[in-house]
Amino acid sequence: MRSVRLILIAFSVVWLCMCTSVSAGDEVKFRSPNGKFAMRLAGDISEIIDLKAGTTVLELEEVSGSWAKDSKLLWSPDSKYFAHFSADRRGGSTTIYRQKGDTEFEQVPLPEFPDCEKTNVGKEFETSLEPRRWLNATTLVVLAREAWSNEDDPNQTGECERTITISFDANGNASIQNIKKGKK
């Protein structure tokens, strides 16, 4: 009887480990500096996982297989914030998250960015906001790009590129610290 009980306990432990662990086909990348979290691509879902427990902490989004490889995640040096870049056919977007508690994250609203000085805009074919690097635990540099065709001559295009420095205060509120214009 005791051996049956031990076998059942062993089976239960193995089953639980299999349910909470990372599947062999899932890609785990972008580990946090403290080694506690990472991003897992599980089919069409990208998520933040607790590496020790192997459990999902935050589901980020559904991603198309062709764009998933271009998505990325940048952690702040203290692992309290991360910037998630989700690639798409027009460039991509960035969402910022802040740690709340031991294993929870909340989305941080970004400030409004000033528009590029565009004229004679036909069709916009790129609108992108991509995280580049963390300067410190509360300061992030992002690259904002826009591109469009000329309304009168679709063979002519215009583009605007800005490097934007964003800071986060103690409450997680974001504000623009600097904007450096690039191509125009």
CA–CA separation, 180 and 114 (whole Å): 12
Total Cβ atoms within 10 A of residue 87:
19
pLDDT in the model for residue 124: 84
Residue that wins the pLDDT comparison between 85 and 126: 85
pLDDT in the model for residue 14: 40
CA–CA separation, 132 and 141 (whole Å): 6
117 — alpha (psi -120 to 50), left (phi > 0) or beta? beta
Please report which confidence band the pLDDT of residue 65 belongs to, taking 50, 70 and 90 as the band edges.
low
Total Cβ atoms within 10 A of residue 102:
8
Please report which confidence band the pLDDT of residue 8 belongs to, taking 50, 70 and 90 as the band edges.
very low
Closest by CA position to 160, among listed 130, 131, 126 = 126
Task: Tokens 């069409």: give the residue.
Answer: 44
Q: What is the pLDDT of residues 12-38, one digit of tens each?
A: 444 344 344 444 457 888 999 999 999
